[in-house]
Amino acid sequence: MRKKTYHHGDLKNALVTAGEEILNEGSVEALSLRQVAKRAGVSHSAPYAHFADREALFAAISAVGFEALYTRLNETLQAFQGDPAKALVEIALTYINFALERPMRFQLMFSGIVKDENKYPDLVIATHRTFALIENQAIAAQDIGLLRKGESDILALSLWSLVHGFVCLYMEGQISTGILNKGEVKKIVVALLSQVTLKPISL
């Protein structure tokens, strides 16, 4: 890039990208304003021209993460649109893979580090879009008799809670080895989802 100029030109995005890099490499505790600034090649106070405080940067990184999650889920939905049962499983797996690929990003997105997400409308929009996607898929699964009829928002919340709770517990190492020895994650996820379906899930 151009380090010669006094003005960076695209510092805001560079800071977010640098933050994502740090998250990929280390822990969320290593994600500091000063490290992000250093990585972007600017002084330790430069971020304050673009972010009010540490939390604002974290919210921006989080928002990008939610965008990426929505995109991934949507791609999965498109790919398996013809088969709602398979799509249900694949969407769950996409969600889980998204979390496991970059656990620190997922942790930043969901572990309450960003206190008041109402201050960051991007976050709210992205999460609502994601929930709407899950709900639509739940309705499609209802229509083919895979999931029981009823309020689709409650059903969607059940699915999201089930998958989200599983991946949280999994990443925390809370899931006993007895279960993990049953096979790969996919098999466990199918077994979990089978608890809410009306008929067996065929793969």
Partner DNA sequence: GCCTTAACTTGACAGCGTCAAGTTAGTATT
Partner DNA sequence: AATACTAACTTGACGCTGTCAAGTTAAGGC
List residues binding a copy of itself (CB under 8 A). Answer: 27, 103, 107, 110-112, 115, 117-118, 127-128, 131, 148, 151, 153-155, 157-158, 160-166, 168-169, 171-176, 178-179, 182, 188, 191-192, 195-196
CB 169 within 8 A of CB 187: no
- Length of the chain measured in residues: 203
Return the number of the residue (39 or 54) whose C-beta is nearest a copy of itself. 54
Rounded to a whole number of angstroms, the minimum distance from the CB of residue 139 to a copy of itself is: 14
Which one of DNA, a copy of itself, none is in contact with 128 (Cβ closer than 5 to 8 A by kind)?
A: a copy of itself
Rounded to a whole number of angstroms, the minimum distance from the CB of residue 47 to DNA is: 7
CB 14 within 8 A of CB 8: yes
According to DSSP, the residues that pair with 197 across neighbouring strands are: 147
Return the number of the residue (31 or 73) whose C-beta is nearest DNA. 31
Which one of a copy of itself, DNA, none is in contact with 34 (Cβ closer than 5 to 8 A by kind)?
A: DNA
* Residues forming the site for DNA (CB under 7 A): 5-9, 11, 32-35, 37, 42-46, 48-50, 53-55
Q: What does the alpha-carbon distance between residue 165 and residue 168 come to, in Å, rounded to a whole number?
A: 5
Angle (CA) 139 123 158, round 5°? 30
Largest Cα–Cα separation, the chain: 64
Identify the three-state secondary structure at position 32.
coil
Rounded to a whole number of angstroms, the minimum distance from the CB of residue 67 to DNA is: 22
